[in-house]
Structure 1
Amino acid sequence: MRDITLKPTTLRSATAGGRIRVGADGVAMVRERRVDKGDVIECARIAGIMAVKQTPALLPHCHPIPVLDAQLDFAFEDDALAIRATVRTIAATGVEMEALTAVSAAALCVYDMMKPHVDTQTLRIDGIHLAEKMGGKTQFGRKAKAGRAAVIVLSDTVAAGKKPDTAGKSVAEGLANAGFDVAGYEILPDEPAQLDRRLREWLAQRPDLIVTVGGTGVGPRDKTVETVQPFLTTELPGLMEAARSFGQARTPYAMLSRGIAGLAGGTVVCTFPGSRKGAEETLAAILPGLVHLIEVCRFSRPHDGGYT
């Protein structure tokens, strides 16, 4: 199964459709409830809902997820029944396969109930397709359009060459993969004066995003938060709240991060933890929000203000 541990949980929905041909006489039998095996529509509806719950057991790469809503609707055509299934969840992966499985199972149920009455040459399932999906990266963009970013790593040991940087490089790579132009990547010791100077120099260039990596803990040398905070003209506490909540579901130590985020003029500034895992989880948690800030609100570009 694909690893989805770094995917954020969002409200997701999928709608699938399909049809089963039963002939004009078969449509009349279903409509008038004259089928020997019972009410075709209600049996097919139940079969579809049961199939939604069984999808991970049928398809090896589907993750078991909480199904919060599943609806099946049927429409009579001249010689067929049209089937439409909508499934919703709040999860890290979508429900497209659940919706498609629901339509497939409902159609098979109709087939089974109608085969004593309709010639098998007439019975035909076709047109099963995904009609719509929402949520996840489809709705909440995770790709920036040429936003400029800088990554500043704060670590005494890395700056002294005693160990390699993995967290900062991972963040820079993640931003590049998300469409950002990573205009700067640098390593500084945990010295507030040096960070203060570099922040001023970077802010003068008006990048879209500055990410610091490291110095958000409780050690005596962890002063990134104290250094960054005076630069923030508008704090955005929700970003780091989301990051801590995301991390807390994966490690009990995420609560200890003191990271902050906000706007410094037209630049978004975020303070990430110094561990690679913590930095990667933070980026995964807040990337949709960062893209929304930079692309939809266009903070660092000339505009009249507000949303576009």
Structure 2
Amino acid sequence: MKNVGMKAESYRTAIATGILHAPPHCIELLRTGNTEKGDALKTARIAGILGAKRTDELIPLCHPLPIYRADVEYTLGEAQVEIRGIVETIGPTGVEMEALTAVSLAGLTLYDMLKPHCEPEDLCLDQVKLEKKKGGKSHFSRVLKESLSASVIVLSDTVAAGKKPDTAGQNVMDLLQEANFSNIAYHIIPDDPKQLLALIHDQKKQYPLILTVGGTGLGPKDLTVETIQPLLTREIPGLMEASRNFGQRRTPYAALSRGVAGYIENSLVITLPGSRQGAFESLSAILPALVHLFDVQKNIPHAGGYQ
């Protein structure tokens, strides 16, 4: 089963359709609800909804999801009935299979309830397919349409002294490259506010995105927030609220992060935790928002070709 534990939840919908071909007299039985076994359309609708809710039990590698809406609709023709399944959720993965299962189960139920009234070869369920889906990576992109430069500043006395390798900053670099950021500057400095201020001053006219890694906790040398926050000309509190909410569903320690985000002149500056997992989770949570922000704000002038 695919690991979706690091994917952000989003509102997702899926619509699937299928067609059951049947003789005209069988379609009339559906209209009147007078099959030998009862009202076939109502029964098949319930079967389809139950199928959507139990897809993870029927298809081995599907994830269990909270189903907020599942429904089955019909359009009756002269010798066919179109079945339409609609499923909605808020989750880390989509509900395409749930919608397809709803249509399939509804169609099979109609088949079962009509077969006493015709020959087997007169019934055919086909064209079960996904018509539409919304949400997740198909709707909330995690990749820039046009590449932009960025800067990653790692703050750690021990890493700067060569006493341990930097893993958090490298994780952040990898995520940025996957999101189509390029020409990424990479600096490792001690937990020194003066060095950080100097770097921010030099880089705020060069990079549309600056990420600091480390110094957002409660240790005596965790001063990144105190250094960056007074410089912010327009704070974006929602970014770090999203990061902390995402992280706290994976570790209670995420509540201790004091990270901030906002603009310093035309550069967006975000302060990430210094742990490898904390930095990865925080950036993963807000990456779709960052991509959207940069994709829709191309008109903001910026040095270094950011236009």
TM-score, normalising length: structure 2: 0.95
Deviates more, 1:222-231 or 1:69-78: 222-231
Structure 1 equivalent of residue 176 of structure 2: 175
Structure 2 equivalent of residue 242 of structure 1: 242
Unaligned stretches of 5+ residues in structure 1:
303-308
The count of residues paired between Structure 1 and Structure 2 equals 301
1:32 Cα deviation after fit: 2.2
- Residue 286 (structure 2) pairs with residue 256 (structure 1): no
1:97 Cα deviation after fit: 0.4
Structure 2 equivalent of residue 216 of structure 1: 216
1:298 Cα deviation after fit: 2.8
* Partner secondary structure for residue 41 of structure 1: helix
Does the 8 Å contact 1:267/1:299 carry over to 2?
A: no
CA RMSD of aligned residues (A): 1.2
- Residue 212 (structure 2) pairs with residue 184 (structure 1): no
1:100 Cα deviation after fit: 0.3
* Partner secondary structure for residue 241 of structure 1: helix
Once residues 203 and 192 of structure 1 are traced to their aligned partners in structure 2, the CA distance between those partners, rounded to angstroms, is 16
Once residues 266 and 20 of structure 1 are traced to their aligned partners in structure 2, the CA distance between those partners, rounded to angstroms, is 58
Structure 2 equivalent of residue 155 of structure 1: 156
Map 1:89-168 → 2, pairs under 5 A: 89-144=89-144, 145-168=146-169
- Residue 232 (structure 2) pairs with residue 232 (structure 1): yes
Does the 8 Å contact 1:75/1:81 carry over to 2?
A: yes
Q: Deviations over 1:231-260 (max 9, x none)?
A: 211000010011011111111110111100
1:300 Cα deviation after fit: 3.8
1:182 Cα deviation after fit: 4.2
Once residues 295 and 131 of structure 1 are traced to their aligned partners in structure 2, the CA distance between those partners, rounded to angstroms, is 27
TM-score, normalising length: structure 1: 0.95
* Partner secondary structure for residue 83 of structure 2: strand
Once residues 56 and 193 of structure 1 are traced to their aligned partners in structure 2, the CA distance between those partners, rounded to angstroms, is 54
Does the 8 Å contact 1:208/1:299 carry over to 2?
A: no
1:59 Cα deviation after fit: 1.0
Once residues 24 and 189 of structure 2 are traced to their aligned partners in structure 1, the CA distance between those partners, rounded to angstroms, is 76
1:269 Cα deviation after fit: 0.7
Structure 1 equivalent of residue 60 of structure 2: 60
* Partner secondary structure for residue 113 of structure 2: helix
Does the 8 Å contact 2:242/2:285 carry over to 1?
A: yes
Unaligned stretches of 5+ residues in structure 2:
303-307
Does the 8 Å contact 2:96/2:133 carry over to 1?
A: yes
Once residues 289 and 37 of structure 2 are traced to their aligned partners in structure 1, the CA distance between those partners, rounded to angstroms, is 52
Q: Deviations over 1:123-157 (max 9, x none)?
A: 11111111111111111111112021111100000
Does the 8 Å contact 2:152/2:211 carry over to 1?
A: yes
| Identity level (%) | 50
Once residues 298 and 247 of structure 2 are traced to their aligned partners in structure 1, the CA distance between those partners, rounded to angstroms, is 28
Deviates more, 1:91-100 or 1:31-40: 31-40
Once residues 264 and 81 of structure 2 are traced to their aligned partners in structure 1, the CA distance between those partners, rounded to angstroms, is 58
Map 1:1-16 → 2, pairs under 5 A: 1-16=1-16
Q: Runs of 4+ in structure 1 displaced over 6 angstroms?
A: none
Does the 8 Å contact 1:235/1:261 carry over to 2?
A: yes
Once residues 300 and 226 of structure 2 are traced to their aligned partners in structure 1, the CA distance between those partners, rounded to angstroms, is 24
Once residues 59 and 278 of structure 1 are traced to their aligned partners in structure 2, the CA distance between those partners, rounded to angstroms, is 34
Structure 2 equivalent of residue 281 of structure 1: 281
Once residues 77 and 149 of structure 2 are traced to their aligned partners in structure 1, the CA distance between those partners, rounded to angstroms, is 54
Does the 8 Å contact 1:45/1:106 carry over to 2?
A: yes
Q: Which amino acid aligns with 1:125?
A: L
1:299 Cα deviation after fit: 6.3
